Chain A
Amino acid sequence: MTETTKPQNADDYADKIWDFFCSLKLTIIILLLLSILSIIGTVLQQNAPAAEYIKEYGQSNYELFVKLQFVDMYHSWWFIGLLGLFSVNLICCSIKNFPRVWKFVTEPALIASPGILKNSANRLEATSKDDRQQLANRLSALLKKEFGSAQQSEKDGKLYLFAQKGIYSRFGAYMTHLSILVIMAGAIIGNVWGYKAYVNIVEGTSTSQVWSRNGQVPIDLGFTVRCDDFDVSYYANSRRPRDYNSDLVVIDNGQEVLHKRIEVNDPLTYKGITFYQSSYGSAGNPFFQVKVTENATGNVMNMKASMGQPVNLPGGYAFAITDFTAEGRFGPAARVNVSTPDGRRGTPFMVLKDFPEFDIKRGGKFSFSLVDYKEPQFTGLQVAKDPGVEVVWLGCLLMVFGSLTAFFFSHRRIWVCLEEDGGKTKIQIAANAHRNQPGFSLAFDELKQKLDAAIENKSSKKEG
């Protein structure tokens, strides 16, 4: 008993599993589940430091969140698992249904069944004195012009014509489904073989290492990137940044191979690695260009100084810039100290960049003016290597075309059956569309007049 039923049971079981994975009910449930579960990650902040969760929700809740992987839910086993189930569902469904659709291509229904001829919503019946082949030729010519080239066949003494249009639209849904798999494949490729990283480069320096965004592990680029200059430009009369730019140079094997001024929304790519302008900040002490006039001689000296470092002047004097602000009440302002040859420090005084004559009035041994200053900055770059991104875009393209064909085009077919009937020819025409039937009915009504004219061998214009 058991021997005979067991394999059957196993088959049943396999069938059940197969049906489960193929079922559209599962698709709808997964889609709704994905919608609902995705909400969690929009309410609960993702990947925040533990202390923040504990402060907000308490220790025990935090431990629960960690156990359920809510703190990084889009990478949790259950979310990824659901996406996996979604793909399996999609693949099974396509395997099951595709052969049926492929048959429309390989085995077109050249011969209309009596059911189609009798019951189709779009029909035309007529009789004519002309013989079958004459009619077939005229109708073929018309169909070729108006619809699609007709295939002629004969069965049981009847002559059949078949023409079709838009068969590709049967594949729109499959293209859409395939596109989802392609996008997922692209995402996986990017995750496995790519990385997201960042790096801060101080102006004038270079780096060949970047830091991964999660984990802060150093990654070797295999080449060097130098930042020659960084700039922020502002909108007129406002402190609103208009743009950030970095002059980047790529050095590979000791050669400068690429030069680009990047800005937000305009990155640089070299060897599959892309550098995006993302932030900036101050990197250490500013340095200055100062014009010093020896008042007794009128001697002018252009000197460089960096913050806090004494710079020697003639006669054993020296000066140092001890404080600086770029946004003082009178514009950029530096505090200068002059020390005498015996090492005593004098009273500090202000030098204003926007008022170069200002310091002459002080009447010291030297007068100073601030020609220029530079606050060294670092440019903050996001660095991404994503070999899957092209695959993702390909998937997106497929998705757009796929869903457009699935939604807005339909497979339309016309059958003609010509039958000898007591010296006359009986003509039956039927047509259908696999979607948008009302629209097709309108189009068919128009075609009907032309078909009538062709049957009566008149030009359609004369038909009222």
Chain B
Amino acid sequence: MESGLFFNITTIAYFASMVLFFAYIAARTSTLAFFATLAALAGFITNTIALGLRWYESYQILGVDGRAPLTNLYESVVFFAWTIVLIYLLMDLKYKQRAVGAFVMPFALFSMVGAQMWLNAGIDPLVPALQSNWLTYHVITCFLGYAAFAVACGVSIMYLIKIGKEEQHKGDAPMGGILGLFPPCRVLDDMNYRAIMIGFPLLTLGIITGAAWANYAWGTYWSWDPKETWSLIVWFLYAAFIHARFTRGWIGRRAAWLSILGFAATIFCYLGVNLVLSGLHSYGGS
């Protein structure tokens, strides 16, 4: 399949981007950051092409039963990589804090490598329950939300590294070394919050479209199966984050920890539920 080739190129581009971001932080040459961002953009474009091609190929293989490439674990993971880089590039447009790439691109790279090493890339026909437009809306909104949380998590890790060093570092002189390139803590904290503000409504939409789909297929919009429950747990955690921030002034370190906890719960909701817990949800072992 052609799309496989493009997914390989995507993986290589994300890898190059990550290495260049690391090199940028180590060598502090802004040219490196430029090329790192360029590699991320190139990877994003090939990722887009690969998804498009896979869509087209599904029609070639399955005829009229072709469908958007968002229906099994492999497709969802490569789509997750795509959404992470999309959200990252959008945040980069606004904040222009290049060092952040070193903490976000690894998530995208892990996804691509994981999908290609361990997951079945075959294009199989769908069981009847999955043949629904709601599935497409559900996957798109959920994963855009997850991606925003991934960016928030990366930024929070940077924040915790930087604030720890900053508190030891006395005086007004700008910090040298690797941390000098990190955005100021204030900016990192703001980015964390902004990313979650983007992610939360998307997760809300993701849960709602999932409920709508379940209602259409089985007549129950909510049945407390482990996947649904975990998505609600994630939602509760980020709702707590937002309230703690708005009204109790939880910023900085506590907000960063809550954001990391939220993302850990997100990943558990996405992968852990299928690997660790039993459930009815479709992205099972297949």
Chain A interface (Cβ < 8 Å from any Cβ of B): 24-25, 27-28, 31-32, 34-35, 38-39, 41-43, 45-46, 74, 187, 196, 235, 238, 240-244, 263-265, 267, 274, 276-278, 382-384, 386, 389, 392-393, 396, 399-400, 403-404, 407-408
Contacts and interface: CB of A to CB of B under 8 A. Distances in A.
A187 B223 CA distance: 12
Nearest to B128: A264
Given A28-B243, A38-B232, A400 B205 contact: yes
22 contacts: A24-B248, A28-B240, A31-B236, A31-B240, A32-B236, A38-B233, A42-B273, A196-B219, A240-B124, A241-B128, A243-B128, A243-B131, A263-B128, A278-B218, A382-B219, A383-B219, A384-B219, A386-B219, A393-B212, A404-B201, A407-B197, A407-B201
A34 B65 contact: no
B200 interface: yes
B219 A400 contact: no
Given A43-B277, A196-B219, A400 B239 contact: no
A104 to B, nearest CB: 17
Interface residues of B, number: 43
Report whether over half of chain B's contact residues are helix, strand or loop; otherwise say mixed. helix
Contacts, number: 107
A439 to B, nearest CB: 10
B220 interface: yes
B106 interface: no
Contacts of B237: 31-32, 35
Contacts of A235: 62, 65, 125
Closest 6 CB pairs of A and B: A384-B219, A264-B128, A42-B226, A31-B240, A35-B236, A35-B233
Contacts of B273: 42
Given A244-B128, A264-B128, A403 B230 contact: no
A24 B247 contact: yes
B60 interface: no
Contacts of A276: 217-219
B200 A42 contact: no
Interface string B248-286: 100000000000000001000000010001100000000
A112 B62 CA distance: 68
Given A31-B239, A235-B65, A265-B132, A39 B233 contact: yes
